[in-house]
Structure formats: C-alpha cells, structure tokens
Amino acid sequence: MPVLELVAISRDFPGVRALDGVSLTLEKGEVHALCGENGAGKSTLIKVLSGFYSRGQYGGEIRLRGEPVVFSGIRDAEAAGIAVITQELALVPEMTAAENVMLGREPVSRGLIQWDALRAAASRALERVGADVSPDRPVRELGVARRQMVEIAKAVDKRSEILVLDEPTAALAEGDVRRLLDLLRALGAKASRLST
C-alpha cells in the first residue's frame, strides 16, 4: 500500500489554475524529484501536502496509508509524519545546532531543560544523517549545506515518514549537492528495509 497518494489535486488563484488534477503515489523508501518551470505549481503542491492550504482551499484528496486525511494546518501534517523543509530554512540563527534540532521537544525535568540529554539526543540525530556539525555550534556560523543538514536531522528525529525538500540544491555547491543526494538515497533505502 502506498504511504502517500495525492489524487486529482487542484488549486486556483484569481485568474490562474496553479494545479489541475495532479496525482502522485509514493511508496515507502522512494525518492522523487518534482521538476518544472517557475510557476508550474511545485511550491503550491507542497503547500497543499504540508497543510499550509487547508481543505476547501484545494480540490482533490490526500491519502496516507490508504486513508483520506484532512489537514487544518501545518502542525496536522507534521503530526501525520510529513516534514517540509523549505528554501527559507526554519532555524533560529542565535541557537546552537542541538537547540534547533530539539526545538519544541526539549527534555525537561522539574520544569528545567536537561541540557546534557538535549545535546546527546541532538548529537544522535545529527550523526544519523551524517551531518558534520558540532551540536554546540550556533547555526548562524553554519553554511547553507550544514544548516540544511540540521533541518533534515530535526525532521528525521521527529520520525517523519515523508520528507519534502523544496529546491534543496538551489544554493548548494556541487560537492554538497552530491552529499545531500547520497543522504536522501540512504534514507530511502533505510525506509525500504524497515518496511519489508
């Protein structure tokens, strides 16, 4: 059974149909690239999938593991296991890589953040995606490729089943593009092994 199905997704803006009956099926472990010119509707489709556009703002149906789902917002999609990493990375530059990975999920005891536990959990998440990033380094000191790895580590650590990257290679050097694509292939292969 497919992990995700988009069925006949349509989205209109005044004077323009951005999406016209778009369908997509995603099996566990698959890696897809959505290609097209500017204005072709790629970002609009991502916004539908991510819950940015709620039901009623688009036509068609989203199914997860065969069941129709309706997202009222981005948090609903995240709770369903969909992580979207946009071009404008959602990191807090003043915080460390570890703090960003665990943001909103900090280990707390007696009302206090357990910094050693936070750092250890973030370190494991960064290692899991092969990120060459010190957990103690402020994000503002990281280049684009390493910031992206922090975002991916955060998504993987949240146990996101579907990872959507919007133009992930746009600002990367050739070597960083290769590393990112290798990581995505490795994550897909791992997901395939876990599903069999």
Query: Quick one: tokens of 76?
Result: 């609903």
What is the Cα–Cα distance from 178 to 49, expressed in whole angstroms?
Answer: 26
Distance CA 196, CA 191 (A): 9
Q: How confident is the model at residue 156 (pLDDT cuts 50, 70, 90)?
A: confident
pLDDT range class, residue 181, cuts 50, 70, 90: confident
Contacts with 173 (C-beta within 8 Å, 6 or more apart), sequence order? 145
Q: Which pLDDT value is given to residue 171?
A: 76
pLDDT of residue 3: 92
Q: What is the pLDDT of residue 141?
A: 96
3-state secondary structure of 4: strand
Q: Which amino acid is at 5?
A: E
| 75 contacts: CB under 8 Å, gap ≥ 6 | 51
Six-digit token string for 195 = 């599903």
pLDDT tens-digit map of 92-151: 999 999 999 999 999 999 999 999 999 999 999 999 888 889 999 999 999 888 898 898
At residue 196, does pLDDT exceed 70?
no
Element (H, E) at 99: helix 97-101
Domains of the chain with CATH codes: 1-80 (3.40.50.300), 81-160+170-180 (3.40.50.300)
H or E stretch at 47:
helix 42-50
pLDDT in tens, 49-101: 999 998 889 999 999 999 999 999 989 999 999 998 887 778 999 999 999 99
The pTM (predicted TM-score) of the whole model is 0.80
